[in-house]
Each structure stands twice: as C-alpha cells, then as structure tokens.
Amino acid sequence: MAELTQPATVLSITDLTPHVRQLVPLAKTRKILFQPGQWVSLQLPVGIKPPLNRAYSIAEPPSPAGQLTLVFDRVPNGIGSSYLYGLKPGDELLLSGPYGNFLLPLSLDRELLLVSRYTGLVPIHCMLKHLAASGALPQSTLIAVGPAGDELLYHDELFALAAQHPSFRYTPVAVNGTDQEIVEAVLKLLRPLVTGRSKVMPLLSGVKGFVRPLRAYLMEAGYDRKEVKTETYD
Ligand SMILES: Cc1cc2nc3c(=O)[nH]c(=O)nc-3n(C[C@H](O)[C@H](O)[C@H](O)COP(=O)(O)OP(=O)(O)OC[C@H]3O[C@@H](n4cnc5c(N)ncnc54)[C@H](O)[C@@H]3O)c2cc1C
C-alpha cells in the first residue's frame, strides 16, 4: 500500500555545522511511526517537473509529540537541498514514509561497526541515541568521516557518549579529498577491526563512492553481502 503523502509544518531550523542544517517538521494528518535508520520522502515544489522527490533519514528517535528531525548538507547546485535551505519555521512541506531497511540487526550479539561519511551519520545517530536511551548500547565502534574538523556532525555529543559508555568507541576523521583518499583513510582504521578477529556487524552509510569500496573490502575479508548493511544517498 502506498504511504500517505501529507503536509507537515516546519517547527524549527538549526544550523548544526557551517554546512549542515537540521529541520524539524511535524506531520499534520497522521503521526509517522518509524524505526531508527528509516527515512522519509519529501515532495518538493521545485525542479523541471515538480514535485522533486528527495529522501532524508530521520536523525532522532521517535518522540511523543511525533515530530521528525531531518539533517542535510547543502549540496553545491543541489536543487533539493537548496530549496530546504530556504525554508523557515512555519513553512509547509509535503512528505510520506517511513521507508527503508537500513535497520539495527534484530539480535545485537556481535560488535557493531558503524561507518559513515558526513550526513551519512544521520541514520546511525538515530540508532545510537535509541540504543543509549534504551540502556542497550552494545560493544560498538563508530568511524565518522567529515570534510573538516568543524563539519564533524554531532562531534561533542558522540564524544560525551563515548565517555559515558565504555562499550562505545568514537573515531572521528576529518579528511577532505577524493573518494579514493577518503576510503583509504577509513580502511586504515577498518583493517585492524576486521582482520584476524571474530566477525562484527557492519553498517555503512554515505554516498556510493564511499560505501561501495568499503563493502567490497568487507566482502573480500569474508563477509557475506547480507552481513554488510548499507545506505547510499545518491
Ligand atoms: C535513503 C536516502 C536517505 C538520505 N538521507 C539523507 C540525509 O539524511 N541527509 C542528507 O543530506 N541527504 C540525504 N540523502 C540524499 C538526499 O536525498 C539528496 O539526494 C541530497 O540532499 C541532494 O539533493 P539535491 O537535489 O540538493 O542534489 P542533486 O542535484 O540531486 O545532486 C546530488 C549529487 O550531489 C552529491 N552529494 C553531495 N552530498 C550529498 C548528499 N548528502 N546526498 C546525496 N548526494 C550528495 C552526489 O554526488 C550526488 O550525485 C538521502 C538519500 C537517500 C536515497
């Protein structure tokens, strides 16, 4: 059954970094019940043939009031993200969802290995906050890449989470370069977590140029395709 497309009101807008913005819409017709890792589709009144459909992962776990927290970077010349950057509190959006299968494994019986590039961290942030709030944060390592130190999303929060939970390791990486250079920087950190050790549960999120080579590496290291969960943004 098709998900209901409904209007939503923008409650607030906050800049999280110089190039990443948070927008909080509240659906007007029906509360959106979602699982951490899922996304909503926005139908934006722009582009050659509107509406322009753009997917955004939900950044915070479900709240009693039902608002959604979306977080996005401004893509140079990106039609959708530029439109979102022009929105103000009180404006309306059309959205539907939730969608997606990038979800936490049902059984958290192995170490979680979470790897993200830039706003690819959004669904993983939602999962981590959900696990921490439910008192069930398992042994987990997060490698989060951003293009600069001041573009490391949720940096202070994740740093604090790691200080509170010895089971959670946070490894931020500020690197600006080609896809290949960024993947190489991550592989340096990934190899010791994967080789010669019992299997972990990998979740990878970001653009394809980042996610695909890392998934290929894990498969060469003996992981089955189904054991590597991925979310790709482009
Ligand atoms: C399941 C899913 C979840 C997503 N969740 C998020 C999210 O939580 N936050 C978010 O910022 N985006 C997310 N995206 C990407 C989002 O839907 C848009 O593609 C993005 O905002 C760019 O749209 P645009 O119209 O501005 O750019 P377009 O004109 O469509 O240009 C896109 C191009 O910009 C580059 N690019 C740079 N940064 C991004 C980026 N963040 N996402 C996609 N392409 C990028 C890519 O090379 C891509 O080819 C998600 C995409 C999917 C499929």
**What gap in Å lies between CA 162 and CA 31, rounded to an integer?**
32
Instruction: Look up residue 58 and give its DSSP letter.
Output: B
Q: Which of 81, 99, 117, 179 to mutate to test the pocket of ligand 1 (most atoms within 8 A of CB)?
A: 81
Q: Is residue 136 part of a domain?
A: yes
| Same-domain status, 215 and 129 | yes
Question: Whose CA is closest to 40, among 80, 3, 82, 65?
Answer: 3
Is pTM, for the whole model, over 0.85? yes
**What gap in Å lies between CA 38 and CA 23, rounded to an integer?**
16
Nearest CA to ligand 1 atom 50: 233
For the stretch 135-192, pLDDT in tens is 989 999 999 999 999 999 999 999 999 999 999 999 999 999 999 999 999 999 999 9
3-state secondary structure 88-104: CCCCEEEEEEEECCCCC
> pLDDT band for position 3 (50/70/90)?
confident
What are the respective helix, strand and coil percentages of the chain, to the nearest 5? 30, 30, 40
Buried b / exposed e across 158-169, counting CB within 10 Å, b at 16+?
beebbeebeebb
Q: Is residue 105 part of a domain?
A: no
For the stretch 177-234, pLDDT in tens is 999 999 999 999 999 999 988 999 999 999 999 999 999 999 999 999 999 999 999 9
Nearest CA to ligand 1 atom 15: 233
Q: What is the mean pLDDT of the chain?
A: 97
Q: How many domains does the chain have?
A: 2
Q: Is residue 106 part of a domain?
A: no
Domain interval for residue 58? 6-99
Percent of the chain with pLDDT over 90: 97
